[in-house]
Amino acid sequence: MATDKLTALLTRAANGDADAAAAFLRARAVRARAAERVTSSARAAALRMIRTDW
C-alpha cells in the first residue's frame, strides 16, 4: 500500500472513521511483518556467509 494511501487512511481515522482506523492498523501490521521477514532473511544470509568463511 502506498504511503499516500496510508496517510489518507490515517486522516480519515483521525476524523473519527472507525473502519479507516482498523484498515490503517491492519496495513501497518502487514508492513511491520514484511519488514521483520526482510530483516530475518538478511540476518540468516549474513550468518550463512560467515559460516562459509570459517
The pLDDT of residue 2 is: 58
Task: Kindly state the average pLDDT of the residues 42-53.
Answer: 85
Give me the sign of the Cα torsion angle 31, 34, 38, 44: positive
Provide the pLDDT for residue 43: 86
Reported pTM: 0.64
Residue 1: pLDDT over 50 = no
In the chain, domain spans: 3-53
Rounded average pLDDT over 21-30: 92
Average pLDDT value for residue range 4-8: 88
Closest to 22 in 3D by CA, of 31, 9, 34, 33:
9
Amino acid identity of residue 14, one-letter, is: A
